[in-house]
Amino acid sequence: MRAGIYRLFLTLGLAAAIVPLGGCPTVGPGGGGGNTNTNDNGNGNTNDNGNTNGNGNTNDNGNTNDNGSGGPTAGLTIVKSGIPCRMDKRILAGDDIIAFGTGGFSGVDYMIPSAGDTAGRGIPGGDTFVANGFAVAGKHIALQSNFEVTIYDTATDTSTPIGQNEIRPTNTPVDQYDAGHIQGEGDFFVFRSDNSTDDGLFVKVVDVSGAAPSVIGFANNPGTSAFGVTHVMVDSDTRTAVAVADDTFFVYDIDAPGDAPAEFPVPDGISDTVPHLDGDFIIFEDDLAFGNACILQISTGTITVLTENPSAAQLGIGGDSFGYFLNRDASDSLGSASRSAGGPLSGIPGAMVAPAENFIDGSTTNNGAFGFAQTIGITKTGSHWFLSGRESLGSGEYLQVSTGGGFAIFPDSSGLDQYGCQGSDVNISSSLVAFKAGENNDTTVAYIILP
């Protein structure tokens, strides 16, 4: 079990350690204090965040701000591409590609981080595809126009339409965080399909590992109605697809689509909050009036309700780690942001909780708090946790990161914000962290290439 992430919430009561990048100005650690001290990083600059930050020196809240090594931002460089994207549409990372919505209803484009793109590359017919109706798997993008699916291969600039006789999506969710979106990972996309297709099957996977996309339908439908399928998920490593219907998880083997799925009913139901699958585990929220974050272990069929609940907003899982947001009482809310919680999967049902009043500006709620956010992403290895805002950006909505201690924010290289780099809608692949940078509704594509 990774010791670093286990320490994450054990040490969250301590203020965050902030490491500046590439000559950017230092961003002071959050805290509840009102003292005014000097941050001496060799440049003589002073801020009022209440602590002394020296290279390799220990500050007075118990953390080490070691500028140049060891902090949670170490080895991570934010790149602001300047490419416009819609603040309220999906942004998804794949294998050295980032796809993003460009229009109010339709419009999808993509860029390649390793090439340093400063403009979208263009997708054939890109303006016709639903801006929230796409997914990314590897170097492929699954797109939707009306009820027809197209698979676009960015490596070969090839588009392959999938006939409605094979896949006809049941609907297109309106909001980027609504239940029922197309999902993708690695070599696979998974769709909810209505029963008007030739085979009448409700759950379809498109395999993009070969020269041309191939459609796989699962012979045993989940439930009795295609419209009753609320969520779908896929894991490329385990070659598993999951559908949710009738408050039950249906787990399919992609290599044996004719086999009956394993079924895991949930007595308290499964809410519309999007669940996440990683390997043997699914994190989800039950459907009680005040929903609770829960974890299903597929191999044992064990459903665990986490100790710290009720929950709120988004969920995350990766490697040996899980994360979510809390809705227990007023202390779990700070404006539109919620307090984060999580820990190692070996530690469930327990979850460590981010501290209250660890303010980013050092003393007020005006600019948010470390560990409070709206969206969450965890790397596939479980080594890094990222928090961010949601959709339009404002004060307190920063990209935050942790590797086992407190959360940190990144300095803003463009000077837009004195405290750090604003960020929303963080999404993570095995090689990339994608998010939206900017201010208010004026957002652009930003990213980190993972080491």
pTM across the whole model = 0.86
> Would you say residue 241 has pLDDT above 50?
yes
Return d(Cα 448, Cα 23) in angstroms, integer. 17
> Would you say residue 109 has pLDDT above 90?
yes
Q: By three-state DSSP, how is residue 408 classified?
A: strand
Give CB contacts under 8 A, 24+ apart, made by 216-219.
216/254, 216/257, 217/193, 217/257, 218/243, 218/252, 218/257, 218/261, 219/257, 219/258, 219/259
For the chain, give the percent of residues with pLDDT over 70: 84
* Of the candidates 69, 137, 90, 19, the residue with the CA atom closest to the CA atom of residue 435: 90
Contact 396, 366 (CB under 8 A): yes
The confidence score (pLDDT) of residue 405 equals: 73
> What ranges make up the beta strands (E) of 107-254?
108-111, 135-137, 140-145, 148-153, 158-162, 183-185, 188-192, 203-207, 214-217, 229-235, 240-245, 248-253
| pLDDT tens-digit readout, 158-179 | 999 999 999 999 999 999 999 9
The confidence score (pLDDT) of residue 246 equals: 97
Q: Where are the domains of the chain?
A: 1-88+280-451, 100-174+179-271
CA distances from 233 to 91, 165, 296 (A): 17, 22, 14
Residue 23 pLDDT grade (very low, low, confident, very high; cuts 50, 70, 90): very low
| Pick from 41-45, 336-340, 342-346, 434-438: least confident | 41-45
* Of the candidates 59, 186, 86, the residue with the CA atom closest to the CA atom of residue 135: 186
> Would you say residue 316 has pLDDT above 80?
yes
> Would you say residue 380 has pLDDT above 80?
yes
> Would you say residue 378 has pLDDT above 60?
yes
> Would you say residue 136 has pLDDT above 60?
yes
The confidence score (pLDDT) of residue 413 equals: 86
Rounded mean pLDDT, 22-51: 30
Rounded mean pLDDT, 101-121: 98
Lookup: tokens for 332: 């779990």
Please return the burial class of 212, using the count of CB atoms within 10 Å of its CB with bins 0-12, 13-18 and 19+: exposed
Rounded mean pLDDT, 278-306: 98
> Would you say residue 39 has pLDDT above 60?
no
Residue 34 pLDDT grade (very low, low, confident, very high; cuts 50, 70, 90): very low
> Would you say residue 134 has pLDDT above 80?
yes
Tell me the DSSP string of 32-43: S-----B--SSS
Rounded mean pLDDT, 209-225: 97
Contact 106, 128 (CB under 8 A): yes
Residue 403 pLDDT grade (very low, low, confident, very high; cuts 50, 70, 90): confident
Lookup: tokens for 20: 């500046």
Return d(Cα 341, Cα 351) in angstroms, integer. 6
Contact 400, 373 (CB under 8 A): yes
Q: What helix, strand, coil percent values describe the chain, rounded to 5?
A: 5, 40, 55
The confidence score (pLDDT) of residue 416 equals: 85
Rounded mean pLDDT, 191-201: 97
The confidence score (pLDDT) of residue 213 equals: 98
Rounded mean pLDDT, 409-425: 93
The confidence score (pLDDT) of residue 22 equals: 29
Measured in whole angstroms, the distance separating CA 251 from the mean position of its chain's CA atoms is: 22
Q: How confident is the prediction for the chain on average, in pLDDT?
A: 87
> Would you say residue 27 has pLDDT above 50?
no
> Would you say residue 14 has pLDDT above 50?
no
The confidence score (pLDDT) of residue 70 equals: 54
